[in-house]
Amino acid sequence: MNSTARLPHDERDGRVNAVYSSSASTWGSQVSKGRVKWFEAALKDFGFNRQNIMSTSSASGQSPETILSVENVFDGKVVRLRLYSIKLPSGHIGKREVLQHNGAVAILPVLPDGKIGLIRQWRTAANEWLLELPAGGIEPNEVPEECARRESIEEIGYKINKLSSLFECFLAPGYSSEVIYGYLAEDLEYVGAQPEPDENLEFVPVTLDEALALLDEGKIRDSKTICGLLAYARKIAK
């Protein structure tokens, strides 16, 4: 079940290598608040800030693409593959392969001792064991909050008495409609885990600093977990 640390490729451009090198020597000894400040400073170094990110979006919010047709290619239990024919403003006709998904939730559970509850599980698509936040797909006619409460009991055995929104993001908008709804789960009550028959999970409680150190070392590579940890670190650092 050992996770393999994978550091950034040597071929990355100089600015990325410089930022990563400085982080490797400083993040390990900093508290969570310092980590968040470093992360924000690194983003600014690359020219990202709220103002210029928002300014790149369309003023109208309307799609520049016209959908000409949609072909149903495959209907699975979790995803549905659709082939879109679209027309761009230039008149060019293009194709878009889209995986439609009901969405999912991720839960950052703060345990009674203050630690964060992660899980380690085998992911067939990634072909390795991954450290992740507890998560799961939203069932038909289920709202995200209900899904979060259900998945928390199923995967780690904790009933959530206090649930609040932490983040929301697209998983892979280049080809998928899946949205991840991230929640902060507090005031937990242990009632016993009820995993699905096809799930093989290991419960891994860690402190926030330990989780961020694992992130630094490349041992946490799951996108929803990275989003959740950074959002939580920013929240408590305010």
Report whether 219 contacts 131 (CB < 8 A): yes
128 in catalytic set: no
**H or E stretch covering 93:** strand 93-101
Report whether 128 contacts 3 (CB < 8 A): yes
- Taking alpha carbons only, the member of 18, 49, 23, 47 closest to residue 35 is 23
Q: What angle do CA 218, 223, 227 make, to 5 degrees?
A: 100
Catalytic residue selected from 97, 189, 196, 199? 199
**H or E stretch covering 100:** strand 93-101
Instruction: State how far the Cα of 238 lies from the Cα of 226, in Å rounded to an integer.
Output: 19
> Which residues on neighbouring strands pair with residue 119, listed in sequence order?
132, 203
Cα 130 → chain centroid: 13
Quick count: other Cβ atoms within 10 Å of Cβ 146?
Answer: 13
Instruction: State how far the Cα of 134 lies from the Cα of 200, in Å rounded to an integer.
Output: 12
Find the radius of gyration of the CA atoms of the chain: 20
**DSSP 3-state percent helix, strand, coil across the chain (nearest 5):** 30, 35, 35
Which residues form the catalytic set?
Answer: 199
